[in-house]
């Protein structure tokens, strides 16, 4: 059984994952509108992944005799200055989720909730991978630059990442 503090913290994480899913969906839509199909595909997949992360926590809370609360989600940002800004926002979001997962892990240790600590270990590893992937994309965007043809090359880079993604997720 989960303590009230752990249940509240997990419900807050559910809300954060839902907000991240919504934000990625908005980023995907923006990329679609800007003709960046591969970037859009990347963010659609990110949105799906964040929703899956949320659902895993919902199932865990309910399985542990808690009560998972489905949150209302605020309207995410829908307009961006550039694809570079979209990925910078994505990186900032991933760092915030990582910090939240780390706080949850610390709380689980304080509460001596070993089951939740084990459950959260997957999220710790997942967030390390997510941050590294987005940071790598940002590094590539920096190398490509922001000249007139940069959007084409950025979108091509994302095509490669999208093609490699299913193989990486199958290994997880």
Q: For the segment 73-87, what is each residue's pLDDT rounded down to a tens digit? A: 999 999 999 999 999
CB 123 within 8 A of CB 101: yes
- pLDDT score recorded for residue 151: 86
Residue 170: pLDDT band with limits 50, 70, 90: very low
- pLDDT score recorded for residue 167: 53
Phi-psi region at 156: left, alpha or beta (left = phi > 0; alpha = psi -120 to 50): alpha
Is 168 annotated for ligand binding? no
How many Cβ atoms from other residues are within 10 Å of residue 39's Cβ? 27
Residue 171: pLDDT band with limits 50, 70, 90: very low
Residue 57: pLDDT band with limits 50, 70, 90: very high
Average pLDDT over residues 104-128: 97
Q: What CA–CA distance (Å, rounded) separates 94 from 27? A: 14
Is 157 annotated for ligand binding? no
The distance in angstroms from the start CA to the end CA of the chain is 28
Q: The pTM is what?
A: 0.90
Tell which wins on pLDDT, 99 or 157.
Answer: 99
Residue 148 clears pLDDT 80, i.e. is over it = no
Average of per-residue pLDDT values in the chain: 93
Q: What CA–CA distance (Å, rounded) separates 9 from 12? A: 5
Average pLDDT over residues 1-29: 97
Is 17 annotated for ligand binding? yes
Q: What are phi and psi of 146, to 5 degrees?
A: -125, 30
Q: For the segment 28-37, what is each residue's pLDDT rounded down to a tens digit? A: 999 999 999 9
Sketch out the chain's domains with CATH numbers: 4-171 (1.20.1260.10)
The CA–CA distances, whole Å, from 83 to 34, 87, 135 equal: 9, 6, 14
Is 127 annotated for ligand binding? yes
Q: What angle do CA 84, 126, 17 make, to 5 degrees?
A: 70
Is 74 annotated for ligand binding? no
């Amino acid at each position: 059984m989960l303590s009230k503090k752990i249940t509240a913290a997990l419900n807050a994480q559910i809300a954060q994952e839902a907000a991240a899913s919504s934000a990625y969906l908005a980023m995907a839509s923006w990329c679609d509108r800007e003709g960046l199909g591969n970037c859009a595909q990347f963010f659609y997949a990110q949105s799906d992944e964040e929703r899956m992360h949320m659902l895993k926590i919902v199932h865990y809370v309910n399985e542990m005799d808690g009560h998972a609360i489905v949150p209302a989600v605020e309207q995410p940002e829908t307009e961006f200055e550039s694809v570079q800004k979209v990925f910078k926002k994505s990186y900032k979001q991933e760092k915030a989720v990582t910090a939240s997962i780390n706080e949850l892990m610390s709380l689980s240790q304080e509460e001596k909730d070993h089951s939740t600590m084990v459950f959260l270990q997957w999220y710790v590893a997942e967030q390390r991978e997510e941050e590294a992937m987005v940071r790598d994309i940002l590094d590539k965007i920096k190398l490509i630059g922001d000249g007139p043809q940069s959007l084409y090359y950025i979108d091509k880079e994302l095509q490669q990442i999208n093609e490699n993604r299913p193989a990486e997720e199958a290994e997880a």
